[in-house]
């Protein structure tokens, strides 16, 4: 696990974070841009994700997907990209001997993609099928309808990352080029390189291969969020959203407004979540699944953004016993709200979080995400050892105070996908 890193701002404004790990034979390069669905207008919704796809469809130097992917595959590289609500990222992990190709290919994709109209038209259908796939997977789709419920139609965090079918069918090539030029430029790029490399060599490689066609100016909203502009998610009564689907297992997500990336309370909440519902010995798993047999999976989690966050519980449930399950989940929440967690649970939670960090940061891909995301989203970096020190210092009183702040049944939100048309019983359970 490396606690040493270097941040440089290159002449074109590009932000370069390097983390040397000498006991590996790989180099992992990831490029972030602070652009995702929360920065899109309703007319542009889905375009960030679509552009991510188009970066793999050919460049000036590599004319199509086959040429690009063949070169990467011949290196044995691991490569992909993803779009979220607040970022888009592209990565290549390769042998350290292929570091030049690693960075050159990624720079070529980012700076020289062609956006061929025939490829755009083909990719429309691909992304629409991707959308339908997730709509047919209620375990994942319940996440989307939950955030639509929490944030509502007017909040851009409520927009789907993938967009909607009308937009996907109507985006023009000019829209793609204009949108890319608005967000893809030197000072808006955050490149994080982790692994076994020569620092001077990779710095020169990045300088020579990330040559953007324009010099843009970062969106003011991006910079405000990077510098800790918080907001409170105002809610005064329970909210429910249901989607009817004739399926054998019901899918549920319920939760509350919580803390952002910047809030110090997020560390205490992560410890609570660890023992409440993130492992097989957690309260939710033992009491809802093991003792009652009401579900296959049940877990708690935190969703954090720069200005707000959520604490939630997900479960795939026996559709004939969903009311019983919701009632028992509420009892577990009421129990911990009344009595808190124990000292033994606090110590267990710390062991869980610290152990998971050690395991995760053995992989340079996770190290790159650890450093790169922090600098992109928070304009600062805390090292693994610094994070561990913070976790170790969290007290039982702090956790139990956080529980009382978060679990407020006037602010509960519940999304359900299953064979239900009548909402009355669910509304009653939320009271």
pLDDT tens figures, 365-409: 999 999 999 999 999 999 999 999 999 999 999 999 999 999 999
Question: Quick one: average pLDDT of 313-318?
Answer: 96
Cβ(78)–Cβ(41) below 8 Å:
no
Q: Distance between CA atoms of 378 and 372, rounded to whole angstroms? A: 10
- Shared domain check, 199 and 136: yes
Residue 329 within a domain: yes
- Shared domain check, 167 and 43: yes
pLDDT tens figures, 55-103: 999 999 999 999 999 999 999 999 999 999 999 999 999 999 999 999 9
Higher local confidence (pLDDT), 312 or 217: 312
Contacts of 290 (CB under 8 A, 6+ apart): none
Give the chain's domain count: 2
From 191, 226, 261, give the residue that closes a domain. Answer: 226
Task: Identify the pLDDT of residue 2.
Answer: 67
pLDDT tens figures, 243-258: 999 999 999 999 999 9
Task: Identify the pLDDT of residue 112.
Answer: 97
pLDDT band at 194 (very low <50, low <70, confident <90, very high): very high
Residue 23 within a domain: yes
Residue 233 within a domain: no
From 205, 226, 247, give the residue that closes a domain. Answer: 226
pLDDT band at 215 (very low <50, low <70, confident <90, very high): confident
User: Mean pLDDT of all residues in the chain?
Assistant: 96
Residue 231 within a domain: no
pLDDT tens figures, 281-304: 999 999 999 999 999 999 999 999
- Shared domain check, 90 and 215: yes
Task: Check residue 195 and give left, alpha or beta (phi > 0: left; psi -120 to 50: alpha).
Answer: left
- Shared domain check, 191 and 314: no
- Shared domain check, 260 and 144: no
- Shared domain check, 73 and 18: yes
- Find tokens 């890319």 and name the residue: 180
- Shared domain check, 215 and 72: yes
- Shared domain check, 184 and 283: no
Residue 232 within a domain: no
Taking each helix axis from N to C end, the angle separating 47-54 and 117-135, rounded to the nearest 10 degrees, works out to 120
- Shared domain check, 53 and 21: yes
pLDDT band at 223 (very low <50, low <70, confident <90, very high): confident
Domain that holds residue 352: 239-430
Higher local confidence (pLDDT), 253 or 217: 253
- Shared domain check, 20 and 81: yes
pLDDT band at 218 (very low <50, low <70, confident <90, very high): confident
- Shared domain check, 48 and 195: yes
H or E, element range at 288: none
Task: Identify the pLDDT of residue 427.
Answer: 96
- What percentage of the chain carries pLDDT values higher than 70? 100
Higher local confidence (pLDDT), 216 or 139: 139
pLDDT tens figures, 7-27: 999 999 999 999 999 999 999
Residue 419 within a domain: yes
Q: pTM higher than 0.85 for the full model?
A: yes
Residue 270 within a domain: yes
Task: Identify the pLDDT of residue 1.
Answer: 59
Residue 1 within a domain: no
Write the CA distances from 370 to 89, 258, 361, 388, integer angstroms. Answer: 13, 21, 8, 13
Cβ(156)–Cβ(36) below 8 Å:
no
CATH code assigned at 335? 3.30.830.10
- Shared domain check, 243 and 221: no
From 180, 202, 226, give the residue that closes a domain. Answer: 226
């Amino acid at each position: 696990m490396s606690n040493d890193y270097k941040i440089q701002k290159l002449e074109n404004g590009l932000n370069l974070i390097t983390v040397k790990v000498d006991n590996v034979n790989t180099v992992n390069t990831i490029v972030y841009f602070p652009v995702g669905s929360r920065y899109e207008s309703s007319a542009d919704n889905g375009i960030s994700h679509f552009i991510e796809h188009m970066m793999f469809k050919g460049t000036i130097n590599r004319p199509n997907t086959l040429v690009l992917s063949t070169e990467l595959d011949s290196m044995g590289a691991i490569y992909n990209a993803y779009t979220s609500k607040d970022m888009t990222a592209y990565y290549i992990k390769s042998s350290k001997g292929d570091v030049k190709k690693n960075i050159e290919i990624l720079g070529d994709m980012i700076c020289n993609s062609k956006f061929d109209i025939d490829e755009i038209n083909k990719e429309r259908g691909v992304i629409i099928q991707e959308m339908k796939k997730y709509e047919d997977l209620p375990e994942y789709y319940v996440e989307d309808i939950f955030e639509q419920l929490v944030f509502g139609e007017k909040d851009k965090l409520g927009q789907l990352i993938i967009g909607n079918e009308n937009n996907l069918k109507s985006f023009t090539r000019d829209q793609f080029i204009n949108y890319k030029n608005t967000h893809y430029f030197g000072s808006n790029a955050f490149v994080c390189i982790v692994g076994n490399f020569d620092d001077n060599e990779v710095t020169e490689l990045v300088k020579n291969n990330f040559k953007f066609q324009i010099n843009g100016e970062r969106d003011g909203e991006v910079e405000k969020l990077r510098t800790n502009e918080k907001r409170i998610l105002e809610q005064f009564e329970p909210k429910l959203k249901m989607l009817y689907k004739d399926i054998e297992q019901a899918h549920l997500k319920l939760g509350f407004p919580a803390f952002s990336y910047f809030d110090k309370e997020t560390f205490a909440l992560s410890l609570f979540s660890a023992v409440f519902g993130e492992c097989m010995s957690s309260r939710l798993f033992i009491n809802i699944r093991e003792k009652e047999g009401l579900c296959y999976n049940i877990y708690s989690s935190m969703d954090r953004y720069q200005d707000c966050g959520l604490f939630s519980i997900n479960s795939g449930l026996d559709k004939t016993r969903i009311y019983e399950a919701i009632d028992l989940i509420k009892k577990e929440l009421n129990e911990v709200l009344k009595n808190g967690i124990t000292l033994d649970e606090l110590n267990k939670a710390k062991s869980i979080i610290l152990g998971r960090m050690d395991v995760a940061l053995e992989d340079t891909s996770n190290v790159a995400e650890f450093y790169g995301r922090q600098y992109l989203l928070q304009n600062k970096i805390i090292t693994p050892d610094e994070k561990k020190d913070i976790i170790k210092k969290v007290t039982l009183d702090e956790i139990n105070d956080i529980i009382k702040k978060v679990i407020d049944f006037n602010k509960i939100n519940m999304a359900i996908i299953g064979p239900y048309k009548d909402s009355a019983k669910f509304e009653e359970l939320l009271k």
